[in-house]
Structure 1
Amino acid sequence: MTYVASADRYESMPYRRLGTSGLKLPAISLGLWHNFGDDKPLQTQRDVLRRAFDRGVTHFDLANNYGPPYGSAETNFGRIYSEDFAGYRHELVISSKAGWDMWPGPYGFGGSRKYLLSSLDDSLQRMRLDYVDIFYHHRPDPETPLEETMAALDQAVRSGKALYAGISSYSAGLTLKAQEIARSLGTPLVIHQPSYSILNRWVEEGSPSLLEAAAQAGMGVIGFSPLAQGMLTSRYLDGIPADSRAAQHKSLDTDLLKEENIAQLRELNKIAGARGQSLAQMAIAWALRDQGAASVTSVVLGASSVAQLDDNLDALGNLEFTADELKAIDTHSGVEGINLWKGATESVTA
């Protein structure tokens, strides 16, 4: 059946400006890191994408190596896009990234001009697009000068293959250096995508913190893994389900699910219940809470079903927190080892 988007798709989703740019993102974006590879039914993927857009999610976030196997999320998205969403291209923000390993040999990872621009061409082909709205460097590369990486992003934008440039998992100091170079080239970075959740608060640390540095640099922040790879849901409150990420060893180490951490999750779940929210909904709302100039613009969420997507989007019904709620959440926040991307933020040649 031909897809026709819901006529009221823009009535309930809040849209937030990305830093000092002219681009706005929905408060919740759909990430295709999991659930869009060849291990999931294409019809389920189609249903989730359609439902997301019908509820005002205009941003679909991908990367070259999303799958499994690598590249398959972009390929599957490209097929669904061409059949369902091509007529809505001007209403969509589609992003991709390169930086982590993608193909064998010395040119299939990192931050070199050769890798980034080759990967962008491949991503466009897989997704059946002429351009992406945002192209990111997925993580810092200690072996490539920062000037070269920023010049590659600049070239991607000037070529018309990307409209905006961004970075992911850069430290606060590196973010400021990258923005300085990018501005000198004439293509300022508009967005930073770090991991961020109640249990993974590294972006709040330091002076300036990453959130503060991004605001100082005029960049928006879109947080990924606001549910801490699934820990901040009800799935692990009573054990490890067989079909969970932890059981399948997908980005969540079972060592993190020790009793002292589960006890924290149960306390957070009580706070959520008192707010009339699920644990996942509260975690999403917390990441989107008002932090003044250092507020997060959007969060990236995955969804394995329409029901899960709807439940997560319903978090937007209550984004306000009392001082007592925030204090109680602080008491039960932080898990050692939850930030899988910590090493990626280390300094690079500049």
Structure 2
Amino acid sequence: MTYRADPARYDSMQYRRSGQSGLKLPVVSLGLWQNFGGTRDYPGAMEILGYAFDQGVTHFDLANNYGPPAGSSEELFGRVMARDFRPYRDEMIISTKAGYNMWPGPYGEWGSRKYLLASLDQSLQRMGLDYVDIFYSHRYDPDTPLEETMGALAHAVKSGKALYVGISSYPEQQTREAHRILKDMGVATTIHQPSYSMINRWIENDKTIDACGELGIGVIAFSPLAQGVLSGKYNSGQMQGTRGENPNGSLRASHIEPRVLEAVDKVGEIARARGQSMVQLALSWVLRRKEMTSALIGVRTLEQLKDNLGVLNNLDLSDEEIAAIDAATQNGQMELHPRPQGWLR
């Protein structure tokens, strides 16, 4: 049966402008990082993606290495585009990234022009697209001149293969420099994608989010639930079927140590007092900042997606609630910060 989008899909979603650009994103965007790889069948993927679009989620975020295995998320999304989403391409914002290891040898990762542009061509082929809406440098490369990395992003725009470009996990100094270089090339830094949550505040601590606000760069937060920690599911000690089940995965033992889980318990009390799930409170908190364009969620099930979208019913936080969250999470911070090796993304 051919997918037909819900005519009421724009009735409840809210949209925010990305920095000073003309691009608007839904306040909740859907990422395909870890849940849309080789083990996800087409009906299961389409159930989630179709429902998201029916609720006004117009932004789908990918990267060359998303899976597992690497590349499989883009391949799956490409099948969805070809079979069901093609009539709605102009209503969608599709993003991809390059920066992490994709193929053997010296040209398969980091920030060289050779790697970024070859990777973009591969991503377009996997997704069956002529262009992406946003192309990111996925991580700062300390060994490649930033002029080269930003030059590759500018070329992607000027060649028509990307409408906008962004950076991901860049610290404050490199964010400012990337913006300056791109501006000199006549290209805007439209968006920054850092990790950010109430227990991971590195973009506040090193002033990256303030720099984005000052420079007119939009911000879309990945891992606003701290990879599920802020859902409360790890407080029960049950790891089966979660990211905590894999000792070599992206969730570290330090992310679920007792002081962190104690903070999560306190946040749960605040959520219950608001009549929200913990997930919804965590998203409300991320979206409270005026610099924040969107919160990027990742879900395994349709039920998780519906829970996340429930944030639209209560986005406002009082000063007292924000202060209570600050106090609850003070001793539960994950102490994350971008490093050359980057996040496991």
TM-score (norm 1): 0.94
SS in 2 for 1:105: coil
In 2, are the aligned partners of 1:99 and 1:138 still within 8 Å (CA)?
yes
SS in 2 for 1:66: coil
Paired with 1:123 and 1:27, the residues of 2 have a C-alpha distance of 25
Q: Deviations over 1:25-78 (max 9, x none)?
A: 000000000110002222211111000000000000000000010000000100
For 2:2, give the aligned amino acid. T
* Alpha carbons of structure 1 residues 336 and 342: separation in structure 2 relative to 1, 3 Å: farther
Paired with 2:265 and 2:49, the residues of 1 have a C-alpha distance of 31
How far off is 1:234 after superposition?
A: 2.5
Matching residue within 242, 245, 267 for 2:243: 245
Paired with 1:122 and 1:203, the residues of 2 have a C-alpha distance of 31
In 1, are the aligned partners of 2:62 and 2:74 still within 8 Å (CA)?
yes
Paired with 1:10 and 1:70, the residues of 2 have a C-alpha distance of 33
Paired with 1:133 and 1:311, the residues of 2 have a C-alpha distance of 27
Does residue 320 (structure 1) correspond to residue 316 (structure 2)? The answer is: yes
Please name the residue that 1:304 is paired with: 300
Please name the residue that 1:200 is paired with: 200
For 1:126, give the aligned amino acid. R
SS in 2 for 1:246: helix
Alignment of 1:113-124 (within 5 A): 113-124=113-124
Please name the residue that 1:141 is paired with: 141
In 1, are the aligned partners of 2:18 and 2:218 still within 8 Å (CA)?
yes
How far off is 1:216 after superposition?
A: 1.4
Please name the residue that 2:38 is paired with: 38
Report the number of matched residues.
Answer: 340
* Alpha carbons of structure 1 residues 338 and 52: separation in structure 2 relative to 1, 3 Å: farther
How far off is 1:338 after superposition?
A: 5.6
Paired with 2:130 and 2:138, the residues of 1 have a C-alpha distance of 21
SS in 2 for 1:173: helix
In 1, are the aligned partners of 2:254 and 2:334 still within 8 Å (CA)?
no
Please name the residue that 2:75 is paired with: 75
Please name the residue that 2:258 is paired with: 259
Please name the residue that 1:285 is paired with: 284
For 1:257, give the aligned amino acid. I
Please name the residue that 1:107 is paired with: 107
Alignment of 1:1-80 (within 5 A): 1-80=1-80
Paired with 1:282 and 1:50, the residues of 2 have a C-alpha distance of 25
SS in 1 for 2:329: coil
SS in 2 for 1:222: strand
Paired with 1:58 and 1:271, the residues of 2 have a C-alpha distance of 30
Paired with 1:98 and 1:134, the residues of 2 have a C-alpha distance of 11
Q: Give the CA RMSD over aligned residues.
A: 1.4
For 1:278, give the aligned amino acid. S
Paired with 2:341 and 2:208, the residues of 1 have a C-alpha distance of 11
Q: Deviations over 1:237-256 (max 9, x none)?
A: 21133111111243112343
Higher mean Cα deviation, 185-194 or 33-42? 33-42
How far off is 1:262 after superposition?
A: 1.4
Matching residue within 221, 227, 230 for 1:229: 227
Q: Mind listing any 5+ residue stretches in structure 1 that lack a counterpart?
A: none
Higher mean Cα deviation, 234-243 or 156-165? 234-243
Paired with 1:197 and 1:52, the residues of 2 have a C-alpha distance of 22
In 2, are the aligned partners of 1:140 and 1:345 still within 8 Å (CA)?
no
SS in 2 for 1:297: strand
Paired with 1:257 and 1:96, the residues of 2 have a C-alpha distance of 29
Paired with 2:58 and 2:341, the residues of 1 have a C-alpha distance of 29
Paired with 1:54 and 1:344, the residues of 2 have a C-alpha distance of 39
Does residue 274 (structure 1) correspond to residue 270 (structure 2)? The answer is: no
In 2, are the aligned partners of 1:14 and 1:27 still within 8 Å (CA)?
yes
* Alpha carbons of structure 1 residues 205 and 345: separation in structure 2 relative to 1, 3 Å: farther
Paired with 2:234 and 2:75, the residues of 1 have a C-alpha distance of 32
Q: Deviations over 1:100-131 (max 9, x none)?
A: 11111100001100000000000000000000
Higher mean Cα deviation, 49-58 or 243-252? 243-252
Higher mean Cα deviation, 4-13 or 42-51? 42-51
Paired with 1:98 and 1:338, the residues of 2 have a C-alpha distance of 25
For 1:274, give the aligned amino acid. A
In 1, are the aligned partners of 2:199 and 2:334 still within 8 Å (CA)?
no
Paired with 2:301 and 2:201, the residues of 1 have a C-alpha distance of 28
In 2, are the aligned partners of 1:169 and 1:344 still within 8 Å (CA)?
no
In 1, are the aligned partners of 2:260 and 2:333 still within 8 Å (CA)?
no
Q: Deviations over 1:161-205 (max 9, x none)?
A: 000010000111111111110010011110000000001001111
Paired with 1:155 and 1:33, the residues of 2 have a C-alpha distance of 26
Percent identity, aligned pairs only? 52
Please name the residue that 2:214 is paired with: 216
